[in-house]
Amino acid sequence: MSTSRKDRRDRDEEGRARNARPRDGLGRPLPYGAPGVDRQPEGVVRTAAETVAEAQALLDAGRPFHAHEVFEDAWKSGPEGERELWRSLAQTAVGLTHAARGNATGGARLLRRGADGIAAWDGSAPAGLDVAALVRWARELADDVERTAAPVDAAAVAPRLT
């Protein structure tokens, strides 16, 4: 019995299901064989400063989907006490991704959810993260996205993390 590509699941080197389709700069899957952007490696353990620097470079390049993956690594591998902060930053990056793709409702919802999580942070922010500015940025962008319902330029509206 022969199986077509759509019947098989792509797998990574460890055998985990992982879609091998190339992706565009906003993380949308492209057809097999199409040129795409390099994907972020998953499961990379970084210091807080490395996480912030890598995520900022990706945000500045208009690649918030990829920045979310960097934040997700920190969320999953960082100190227990910081995990909710990194998760909330990942949510804002996904919110920006949706807003850039033209999904105003999902973008605004995730930006606000991330802002609420960041606002709940009560400690000294790792790597100089500017918690107050990030909360303000996410809430203002959520309002703008809902008001205009037009896709945003992810690089042009990217936040300054520090």
Instruction: Report pLDDT digits (tens) over 26-44.
Output: 988 888 999 888 887 888 9
pLDDT at site 3: 46
Per-residue pLDDT at 1 exceeds 70: no
Backbone angles phi, psi at 19, to 5 degrees: -65, 125
Beta bridge partners of 29: 23
Whether residue 21 is contained in a domain is answered as no
* DSSP 8-class letter at 125: P
Indicate whether 154 belongs to any domain. Answer: no
Question: Over the chain, what is the mean pLDDT?
Answer: 91
Q: Which amino acid, residue 66?
A: H
Structural domain contains residue 120 = yes
Confidence of residue 155 (pLDDT cuts 50, 70, 90): very high
Rounded Cα distance, 101 and 149, in Å? 11
pTM confidence score: 0.86
User: From CA 15, how far away is CA 56, in angstroms rounded?
Assistant: 31
161 is a domain residue: no
Residue 23 domain flag: no
- Asked if residue 41 is part of any domain, the answer here is no
